Structure 1
Amino acid sequence: MSETEKAKEEARMQKKYERNLERVQRQIDNGVDPSKLSRKDRAIWELDQQRKKAAAEVEAAKAKQQQALDSIQANSKTQAATMLEIKKNLEKVLAVGA
């Protein structure tokens, strides 16, 4: 199977999945308990729940990573300011001593 055929097949399967997911979501919106869905529909619904959970975990990890980067950046700025202050003080001491 060529790459274009694989891509077309993947797109077709994705559309089919999305249609099925919309159908299942309509059932749930209409009051059907997810445990009462057919095996196929329940599998689709559970997969969607897993995808949502994974997406939320990725977003939380990104936020945590950004927070860590912000903290590192703030610490670097503080450290640079401290080093600059030390340098100025050292220059003053050397100027007085000379």
Structure 2
Amino acid sequence: MPPRSKVRSALFMDIPINNTVIKRGTWYAAAYNEVFLNLEQDIRDGREVETFDRNRLYGAIGYAVRYDLKVQADYMYQSSDTVDKEQLQFSLHHNC
């Protein structure tokens, strides 16, 4: 069964709170909005899906432990045509 085609678009933003840039010791706010669209509505066997697949809205408070290591407490609201859900997350971000 071949995969269906989707398009995904996102806008990400990190805003430093106690510095002008995000560096070691910086608290920051993070946000993103991500939209998923189905490029194919016919998914075989006579079944169809909507063009809109889901939207993710995300907000977080983060702290830069080092220039390459950040921790965040996150909230994400995800909506689709069939279900909406909320998630609380804790995440670790490491840049090589």
Bin for the TM-score computed over the shorter chain: under 0.3
TM-score relative to the length of structure 2: 0.18
TM-score relative to the length of structure 1: 0.18
Larger radius of gyration: 1
The structure in which a higher percent of residues are helix is: 1
